[in-house]
Structure 1
């Protein structure tokens, strides 16, 4: 380990003990990238000098401090862990304790064979071998580019696809996740194989966001035909041109930062996506910059509301013990999607075979068509309900969010005349 890297690690440890996690992460990120964090401001926004095209790059899937103060911490924060052999370390105070992932990073840094990257500060990035494919199925890696940039994506083509029109689902991963990880955790490819539909998984780049979060909190990434929404819509249209996609049967869903991005896509492109799924996410416009992002995650934001428009069919899943994105954000997604429409609501309660209870609220129009569904998962945290433990951020004990989303999606189709060319 060279002297500068060792010095950076010691300084990061000191800042973390003082509860200054963002500055500690900036030090470590600068050391890994070869940049100098001191070249920018020494405040919590000190990594701004390294942001491409003015994008914020700090980790967004973070747990807010308690009302008594302290530091923002990664979702896997474990107060029982402390930095070993650190003189004067006070293990009794949460803001003076090192988050588990950061402690692990400091302990492993410099060891031969270590593959932990800066995203490990917010949670593990799994090196995942693609799952074996059914005979005749494909999981292709593709790329789309436009003036806003370039992104890769993976597309699952089920074995049952032979050129006939089939639905398309666009799945937006959360922070630190990848298309392969998200596909494994949601089991959406298995469902596509069973029901025969296409699944696309856009991949956020580390250049655009250090933790591969979709930049849902940037005002420039919340508008039609601008920034990341233009890239995701462009991928969607590319698939529609290259494959036989059923008219009006294109859907978008996501988890956490990806859920917030899905809400943006539904708001910005109601003519492209027939329905939206938001799991543990936030409403479009709930934040406009980094400070308002943290505020929205902790206590809800002030979602963007357009003028008169039709409701966007939306299904929401949110754990009522989510300490990363406050459950009130699920309410705000539903309110925004409903667009003030007069809908009749019914409430039911149940329990998944795994033991997680839920309250399901369905809002229907005068014809009885369900326009909104809100699943509140009792006792669940920040994780995909009913997901597989082979993926990250999953809660296998909950109801099957993937299957319920597809059931809801297939109840909705845009009229052919409203589908984009």
Structure 2
């Protein structure tokens, strides 16, 4: 009897343990069910799973899109201001010829027009133009500052916006009824408007440059024959179009117009030869008498381009400087209006060089959270603006002030006329005071 009781007791304990195990397993999710999904139910002994709520998933996706990435923080004694307002990365910037405005475009489907007189103020006013159903990758002011053109990322064409000033000082922006026809087959690298207002240039990453009239008609097609284009633009004098790419030179063409305004032709003018590897970028001085280039060979060069190319005269090389960053990654370049300062961008950082001595004078390390997309000096040469992330960094051009001081000191030593000496001394004092005000915060 005792043995039978023990067997019965063991059987009861085993049945209880099995019941507990089954009860515990009943609430576990199916092996194929996503963790945390409690939507699975039992109906007639069959596991019925509900998909994750589409409404909840949609809300999560919307929140994810609205979440802003942390703004990149950067400080420097020469940082004049950071223009913030775009919700996407800024791809291009352009100063108006009258120096009053800065235009920026972003993948947030807007173009913003900033007032340059607010650069040193706490608040930075801007007006916004929306790019319907698309976004702009490039923006350029018209010479009269009453319009701007943009390159549309999705439509792959030019759109013109007219600007009209309101009584309250703001602007209204009206897009032209029709965009330019689609002509390029490869991605666009740059657009530009001649200061004379006679033509527009667009350049793509293959070997194509198109010259347009303002009505959207192609006047000429230039084949650069250099495997691909890296950069192209119009000279400030509106006489030349230049391009660089895979080859170690810069090719320059003259765009000719008759006195009647008719367009006859584009002819080859001259080349800048001297680099030993591909040229990444170049820029003109404001008077088009100087050009600067930067190459994969790790050097930058300054050239005198005020030559009579029709008499087979070649540009003169004035100076060669080193920029080791260029040997390992592409660079962008900007030249101050007076050609005294060269700005280079590699990755997220900026460097400023004196073009007389080839000396590096400033280095803005990690100025942006993303690689620099564009940089340019304002029309006065007081400021350098750059973009890449969601803010425009505006820097004081301290090297430019130093260059003016050096120039005035040299002219003063050579001056013999007393009235000339007094005028130069006044200019020197003003330049020195401006430089001292920038240097003071740096101790």
TM-score, normalised to structure 2, is 0.27
| Structure with the higher helix share, 1 or 2 | 1
The structure with the greater share of residues assigned to strand is: 2
TM-score, with length taken from structure 1: 0.28
Structure number, greater radius of gyration = 2
